[in-house]
């Protein structure tokens, strides 16, 4: 899995049983180089020769994915692995225009590893009228649901998304708004570091009510699910325009504090509005390590138990990679990987394109 945070590749080796019992065997993280990260970020916007640059980036990603696979398989024969589930790196997510684009050159990855690769998971759902995202709720429903407890699972990566798992009812899920994306971009601009460790810089600032109110007026937040978001909706250009529209200046640390509150509040508001009766919130993704963010979620959701997915037996760092291993298994078994109640697709669909070894 390589997501909208653009930090690197999360890879897992997983054994999945006939009833989707999952055993996590090995993990590996491969960080992006600064040059690859800059290239991928630039490709989110139109630029000269972008088709050529995207193809080169896809090849570089395939080699990085292959390195992660080789690290995972130390001492394990590749022919014992049924498949690699490869999400790829999203460059554009435009379901309203009928497409989404994740690069990674799955054919090259199959050549480099000698293992069958399943990729391009999102396109079929979009072809069926869905959002193509989020896809992880189907995995959450399979392995984390409870017959007596109403749970919500929140993945806080670059974008934040939730899965609503009522004890007796329809599974739903959608992107709630920005996760770490704006926080990472703002601290990168002002402190030349990739993320705000434990939310320390945000904690040093004060929430600016005017900025928070302006951010909360983003039209995406007021749309009803199914819905999905990405850098198209939440980016530095939008933040800069919002700051320029205020009648006062905001100190950089106060902007960071307000961005953290925006992430927490948009997620909490979605849960309170759309998930009545929720008893537990389990957080995964990079945001699970942000103590300031976790404390704000607890404060905004006083009647809901807030903790990470560690309490459910899955390390928050590896949830999404495990989900795409499971989605690849669904594809190989000719089983649906989407939930129409989540994505809005016309029905269940078998997702992914298979590149045989």
Residue 271 lies in a domain: yes
Do residue 193 and residue 326 come from a single domain? Answer: no
Do residue 141 and residue 121 come from a single domain? Answer: no
Query: pLDDT tens digit string along 289-331?
Result: 999 999 999 999 999 999 999 999 999 999 999 999 999 999 9
Q: Domain range spanning residue 147?
A: 136-312
Do residue 191 and residue 266 come from a single domain? Answer: yes
Do residue 160 and residue 57 come from a single domain? Answer: no
In this structure, what DSSP letter does residue 192 have?
Answer: S
Do residue 147 and residue 293 come from a single domain? Answer: yes
Residue 2 lies in a domain: no
Do residue 114 and residue 239 come from a single domain? Answer: no
Burial class (CB in 10 A: 0-12, 13-18, 19+), 127: middle
Do residue 147 and residue 268 come from a single domain? Answer: yes
pLDDT value at residue 20: 81
pLDDT value at residue 19: 81
Residue 211 lies in a domain: yes
Rounded-to-integer distance, Cα 138 and Cα 320, Å: 11
pLDDT value at residue 48: 96
**CA angle, residues 231, 234, 239, in degrees to nearest 5:** 130
Do residue 122 and residue 152 come from a single domain? Answer: no
Number of H helices, E strands in the chain: 13, 12
Do residue 196 and residue 288 come from a single domain? Answer: yes
Do residue 344 and residue 306 come from a single domain? Answer: no
Most distant CA atoms of the chain, gap in Å? 63
**Got the DSSP string for 283-339?**
EESGGGG-HHHHHHHHHH-TTSEEEEGGGGTS-TTSHHHHHHHHHHHHHHTT-----
**CA angle, residues 253, 255, 257, in degrees to nearest 5:** 70
Q: Which helix (H) or strand (E) holds 188?
A: helix 181-191
User: Would you say 132 and 352 are in contact if contact means Cβ atoms under 8 Å apart?
Assistant: no
Domain count, the chain: 2
- Kindly report whether the global pTM for this prediction surpasses the value 0.85: yes
Do residue 327 and residue 184 come from a single domain? Answer: no
Do residue 304 and residue 163 come from a single domain? Answer: yes
Low-confidence ranges of the chain (pLDDT < 70): none
Tell me the CATH number at 303: 3.30.420.40
Would you tell me the crossing angle of helices 291-300 and 252-274 to the nearest 10 degrees?
40
pLDDT value at residue 88: 98
């Amino acid at each position: 899995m390589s997501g909208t945070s653009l930090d690197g590749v999360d890879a897992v080796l997983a054994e999945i049983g006939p009833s989707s019992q999952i055993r996590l065997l090995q993990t590996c993280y491969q960080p992006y180089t600064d040059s690859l990260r800059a290239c991928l970020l630039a490709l989110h916007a139109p630029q000269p020769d972008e088709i050529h640059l995207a193809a080169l980036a896809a090849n570089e990603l395939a080699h990085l994915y292959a390195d992660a696979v080789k690290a995972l398989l130390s001492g394990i024969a590749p022919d014992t692995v049924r498949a690699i589930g490869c999400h790829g790196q999203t460059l554009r997510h435009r379901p309203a225009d009928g497409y989404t684009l994740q690069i990674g050159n799955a054919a090259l990855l199959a050549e480099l590893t000698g293992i069958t690769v399943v990729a391009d998971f999102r396109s079929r759902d979009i072809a069926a009228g869905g959002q193509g995202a989020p896809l992880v709720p189907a995995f959450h429903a399979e392995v984390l649901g409870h017959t007596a407890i109403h749970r919500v699972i929140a993945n806080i990566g670059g974008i934040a998304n939730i899965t609503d798992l009522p004890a007796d009812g329809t599974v739903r899920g959608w992107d709630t708004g920005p996760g770490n994306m704006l926080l990472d971009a703002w601290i990168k601009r002002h402190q030349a570091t990739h993320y705000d460790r434990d939310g320390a810089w945000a904690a040093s600032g004060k929430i600016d009510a005017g900025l928070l109110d302006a951010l909360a007026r983003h039209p995406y937040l007021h749309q009803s699910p199914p819905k999905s978001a990405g850098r198209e909706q939440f980016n530095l250009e939008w933040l800069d325009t919002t700051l320029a529209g205020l009648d006062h200046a905001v100190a950089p640390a106060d902007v960071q504090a307000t961005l953290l509150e925006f992430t927490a509040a948009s997620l909490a508001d979605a849960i309170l509005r759309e998930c009545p009766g929720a008893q537990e919130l389990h957080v995964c993704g990079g945001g699970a390590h942000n103590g300031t963010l976790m404390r704000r979620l607890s404060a905004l959701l006083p009647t809901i138990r807030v903790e990470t997915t560690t309490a459910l037996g899955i390390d928050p760092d590896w949830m999404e990679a495990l989900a795409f291993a499971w989605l690849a298994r669904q594809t190989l078994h000719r089983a649906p990987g989407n939930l129409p109640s989540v994505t809005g697709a016309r029905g269940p669909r078998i997702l992914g394109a298979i590149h045989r070894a």
